[in-house]
Amino acid sequence: MGILKRLKAPTPRFFRKIRNIGIAAGTIGGTLLAAPVALPAILISAAGYMAVAGTVAAAVSQVVTDEADETLWKDEVPPHKKGR
């Protein structure tokens, strides 16, 4: 399955929750990094880690699909049926 097909495929419910949490964490981290006020260095450091972790969690959760879904195999042969 190609990356474009994987991005368009439905995401399982658990990973949609993880994706939304990741988006929220990335947004909060980015907002703290871009704040126009002086913040303590530890808070800026934590916000940077939060932004990166949120972005990675959202991206990875978006490409997870349920491979048991037979609708994904429209033009591909499932691995368990190859060679028959």
pLDDT in tens, the chain (84 residues): 677 887 778 888 999 999 999 999 999 999 999 999 999 999 999 999 999 999 999 999 988 887 655 555 555 555 665 665
pTM: 0.70
**How would DSSP label each residue in 30-78?**
HHHHT-SS---HHHHHHHHHHHHHHHHHHHHHHT---TT-GGGGSSS--
